[in-house]
Amino acid sequence: QQVESCLRHAIERGELWLAYQPRIEAGSGRTIGVEALLRWHSPELGAVPPAEFIPIAEESGQIVALGDWVIQQACAQHDAWRRSGLGELTVSLNMSAVQLRTSGVPEVLRAALARHQVNPAHLEVELTESTLMETAEETMAQLHALKALGLTLSIDDFGTGYSNLNYLNRFPIDKLKIDRSFVQQMLEDPAQLAIARAIIGLGHTLGLRVVAEGVERPEHAQMLHAARCDELQGFHFGRPMPPAELERWLRSQR
């Protein structure tokens, strides 16, 4: 309740910001993108983690305004980085099921891309398996509308939802992100490694790129690269960082 009422003013009072975590191309080791992750510092409540406030915002419907803000902010940041010569990083953002279902979201994305002159090929939208399964029929038309803008669509936390694998063929998706639970237990548990490998094979067979999340150790990166995983993300490379810190990090990588 308190979260909900404080959240109501968070956007206008400038209490929200986006952290960016680097995403690395496994083959070259280059940073090819960043994932935008919402952060909230409330003067009343302190730092509230998204795992806490996003479910509340989804219930109250505030997630639509938050999601619109994330889209604007991510596109503005992409534009700023392009102008400052940091290169053509792909920016990915997380979209909740509630926002995906709103009829206005394709237009919000289209307008933000145009205003900030973002190449749609450089914007990625991450959706969880449960988001896709929740509302399969209405979601389908909406996914096609997002694809028609030229965006990349990825399935986040893949392998943890109760998915009907048929949807992989039916939905216009481009990428799978292997949930970090598989990666984190890969070294100790051969079954988890087998699952990670199977997801990579499945993705490639279907013509999808595969990203591993939660890469915390050099051994994770080596094993995933050997298993032909396309992209890697995790604390081993970099944590989610404020924009200025990410810029310094990128420059230090060159």
Least gap, CB of 111 to Mn ion (angstroms): 27
Instruction: Kindly state the DSSP code that residue 120 receives in the 8-state scheme.
Output: G
Minimum CB separation from ligand G for residue 60, in Å?
14
Please report whether residue 126 would count as binding Na ion according to CB under 5 A.
Answer: yes
Contacts to ligand G by CB under 6 A: 21, 37-38, 49-51, 54, 70, 93-96, 156-157, 180, 213-216, 234-235, 240
| For Na ion, the closer CB: 68 or 129 | 129
Find the shortest distance in angstroms from Cβ 15 to ligand G.
Answer: 14
Report d(CA 75, CA 47) in Å as an integer: 24
For the chain, give the number of residues. Answer: 254
Of the candidates 142, 60, 50, 141, the residue with the CA atom closest to the CA atom of residue 94: 50
Contact segment (CB under 5 A) with Na ion among 80-88, 125-133, 137-145, 236-244 equals 125-133
Give the pairing of strands 16-25 and 31-42: antiparallel
C-alpha span between 180 and 176 (Å, rounded): 12
- Which amino acid is located at 134 in the chain? E
Query: Binders of Na ion among 152-191, rule CB under 5 A?
Result: 156
Site pattern 210..229 for Mn ion (x: CB under 5 A): ---x----------------
Task: Supply the minimum distance, in Å, between the C-beta of residue 192 and Mn ion.
Answer: 16
Site string for Mn ion, 157-176 (x = CB under 5 A): x-------------------
Tokens 């929200």 — which residue?
16
Q: How many residues bind Na ion (CB under 5 A)?
A: 3
Contact 12, 62 (CB under 8 A): no
Taking the least distance from each CB to ligand G, the nearer of 164 and 235 is 235
Q: How far are the Cα atoms of 1, 28, 41, 92, 105 from residue 144, in angstroms, in the given order?
A: 36, 32, 35, 18, 12
